[in-house]
Amino acid sequence: MATYQPEIIQTFANRLYARAAVTTVTSALLGILIGLVVTPHLFQVLPSFIVLRCPEWVVPVILGLMGLGQGLERASVLKLQAQTALCQLQIEVNTRLIRESGSGASQKP
């Protein structure tokens, strides 16, 4: 039978926070990379009056910002999962302290 190990929950939360930081940067860089790959092909298809007015760096920057936004959203979800795990851990610690002190149900509000 498995035993309760609070350090596993803490390690899990730490990993989620690390993934959140990496996810934001990775998504932004991926957006820029896709923009760099797509821009030459996109400029071949677009009408010439648009191509002449739009510098080549605009598409990678826009896609990079879109990737950053997506990465921040994913990071928020990961941080929320970490906070949920830490909240459950703290509830268990508080409950254990109350139970060990013997003043759990006998106290009146």
What ranges in 1-109 are assigned the alpha helix state H?
6-45, 48-53, 58-101
Q: Indicate the domain borders of the chain.
A: 9-100
pTM of this structure: 0.76
Q: Is the pLDDT of residue 99 over 70?
A: yes
The model's pLDDT over 29-42, given as tens digits with 9 standing for 90+, comes to 999 999 999 988 88
Q: Grade residue 106 by pLDDT with cuts at 50, 70 and 90.
A: low
Is residue 27 within 8 Å of residue 68, measured between CB atoms?
Answer: yes
**What sign has the CA pseudo-torsion 95, 101, 102, 105?**
negative
Average pLDDT, integer, range 20-25:
95
The model's pLDDT over 34-93, given as tens digits with 9 standing for 90+, comes to 999 998 888 888 788 777 788 889 999 999 999 999 999 999 999 999 999 999 999 998
- C-alpha angle 36/42/44, rounded to 5°? 120
How many whole angstroms separate alpha carbon 81 and alpha carbon 63?
A: 27
Q: Provide the mean pLDDT of the chain.
A: 89
